[in-house]
Amino acid sequence: MDNKVAQLINEQVTKELDSAYIYLAMSAYFENKGLSGMAGWMKVQYGEEVGHGMKMFEYLNVRGIKVNLGAISKPVSDFGSVREVFEKSLAHEKSITASLNKIYEAALQVNDHATVAFLQWFVSEQLEEEKNVTDILVKLDQINDSSMGLIFLDKELGGRK
């Protein structure tokens, strides 16, 4: 495998695990605010991110590349509002999409078709991740600070499996 592509995927393993940690901190925030549905939603997201990291980890193994795990940074654990949490989540997902696009382009440049095919799943997944959070932000707009609306949204998000 091309060195640059291998290095970018290696870095992406850490970024996915970093994402997991970010969402776990968001889950803790919601739990502390009594929003157990949102806390559960974030816990599911945490699990998905670990899954993403492990997919990359296994792919490097299959390609015979040694995985070098990087440091995970301390996540933000306090937020000004529910909306701020989801805004931060959307901004984070956009940065992850950009990071994946960079790997995709690097793999295309060296005609690494296996990696391009491998990354297709992540490209679709990012579309879904950004849409999920955007939909929640739209609902938060509709609720417009109504505490009843927030209780209903919390219940709805708690249904995420």
Residues that bind ligand OFO (CB under 6 A): 16, 19, 49, 52, 93, 96, 129
* CA nearest neighbour of 129 among 154, 100, 149, 106: 100
Give every CB contact of residue 14 below 8 A, 6+ residues apart in sequence.
53, 69, 70, 71, 72
Q: How far is the CB of 46 from ligand OFO (least distance, A)?
A: 10
Residue 23 or 30: which CB sits closer to ligand OFO? 23
Residue nearest to ligand OFO (CB): 19
Q: What angle do CA 83, 44, 66 make, to 5 degrees?
A: 115
* Cβ 130 vs Cβ 97: under 8 Å: yes
Q: How far is the CB of 133 from ligand OFO (least distance, A)?
A: 9
Q: How far is the CB of 146 from ligand OFO (least distance, A)?
A: 29
Q: How far is the CB of 140 from ligand OFO (least distance, A)?
A: 19
